[in-house]
Amino acid sequence: MIKNKLKEQVMHIVFLLSACISILAVALICIFIFINGIPAMAEIGVFKFLSGTVWKPSSNIYGIFPMILGSLYVTAGAIIIGVPIGILTAVFLAHFCPQKLYRILKPIIDLLAGIPSVVFGFFGLMVILPLIRNYLGGSGSSMLAASIVLGIMIIPTVIGVSETAIRAVPESYYEGALALGATHERSIFFTVLPAAKSGILAGVILGIGRAIGETMAVVMVAGNQAIIPSGLLKGLRTLTANIVLEMGYAADLHRGALIATAVVLFVFILIINLTFSVIKRRSKI
């Protein structure tokens, strides 16, 4: 009895230390980013930094508005491509897929979620870019290519969370709809899906978080031009790509501007996470 209590106390301390270390790590990252980024943003000018359309470090001109638009555009494109496919696939897996086929598809989807982003980028570089170049024109490195790659990347996240939410809906909802004369399809799309909308939306938000924070895959296919995007087949640069491309040789104000870019990206991610928390709270009510 005493040994069991001692073990419980030891594990309690271990779990508490692990939680504290995690919180401390996040806090240190936040402190570092804001301490180094806010002064640079203030020196450049907050409005000038956020709304400036020219990024030219050699002339001490730092405007990240093209990168903000680039991140928003490719994320929106990824949502348009990945979310419908992910939700419909989740519906198929939960209510239409035969058990034998499910045993094959589910591991494949889980494997897709674990593939490194650089592999997706290489796939985009070798397959998607030539297809766009040959059939739509341009160089291939474009907003469209980045959106397609990111759309493919967020599909496993949307599928996983959405399928869990759909399966969590009580069976009585589906059976009640059938009892009222609805078909199998109508029972699912007009009864089960509305009941699971909070969980599905949470999956979409998690997918958005991955899309807006992705770096390597976007760097490989987006063209990395620090200009306001002018079309689906034109190149662009995202906030994450801007940081990774120039941080290796940046110094002084240039380095501070890149860290300030990370501050803006951090705020975007924070808004997404807060939205996810609000949705979770509402779903529990």
Q: Where are the domains of the chain?
A: 2-51, 65-284
Phi and psi for 236 in degrees, rounded to 5? Answer: -155, 175
Residue written as tokens 């002064």? 39
**Does residue 80 surpass a pLDDT of 90?**
yes
**Does residue 285 surpass a pLDDT of 80?**
no
* pLDDT at position 65: 92
Topology adopted by domain 65-284? MetI-like fold (1.10.3720)
* pLDDT at position 131: 92
Coarse DSSP helix, strand, coil percentages of the chain, rounded to the nearest 5 percent:
80, 0, 15
- Hey, how many other C-beta atoms are within 10 angstroms of the C-beta on 28? 10
pLDDT-derived band at 246, boundaries 50, 70, 90: confident
Region of 115 (left: φ > 0; alpha: ψ -120 to 50; beta: rest) is beta
pTM: 0.87
At 157-203, the pLDDT tens digits run: 999 999 999 998 888 888 888 888 888 888 888 888 888 888 888 88
pLDDT-derived band at 215, boundaries 50, 70, 90: confident
Judged on CB neighbours under 10 Å (0-12, 13-18, 19+), 71 is buried
Q: How far apart are CA 221 and CA 277, in angstroms?
A: 32
At 120-138, the pLDDT tens digits run: 999 999 999 999 999 888 8
Q: How far apart are CA 237 and CA 219, in angstroms?
A: 8
Helix axes 65-91, 197-213, angle to 10 degrees: 140
Mean pLDDT, all residues of the chain: 87
Helix (H, G, I), strand (E, B), or coil: what is residue 238?
coil
pLDDT-derived band at 269, boundaries 50, 70, 90: confident
In this prediction, residues 44-50 reach a mean pLDDT of 88
